[in-house]
Structure 1
Amino acid sequence: MMNKVNFYLNNLVPILRLMYIRTLSLILPFLFSPIQEIPLISDRQNALIIDLL
């Protein structure tokens, strides 16, 4: 029984860690992209307003 548990732990932990890192690398850019895009959008809007004036 313990051998089976050890086998599962040894094989699953690296896979779970890989999946965790992959999901983090996918999710984190989405979390930080709105923060980075807000100033760009406001700059574009300001440029459009200046062009209209």
Structure 2
Amino acid sequence: MQGASREAYAAARAQLDGLTDAGALATASDDILAVAGLLNAEPRLRRAVSDPAR
């Protein structure tokens, strides 16, 4: 990474770390995995969500 990118990443990371706690991260990760499981189990839904024409 270049210097400016590294500094911007560090600033964004520090701000994100200040806004989140372990419980919120666990909830978000559980929600993401639930959506991934649903999309895996429902091919029609997966196609509908990924179709740019819709």
TM-score (norm 1): 0.39
Which has a greater percent of helix?
1
Q: Which has the larger radius of gyration?
A: 1
By relative contact order (CA 8 Å, sep 6+), the higher-ranking structure is 2
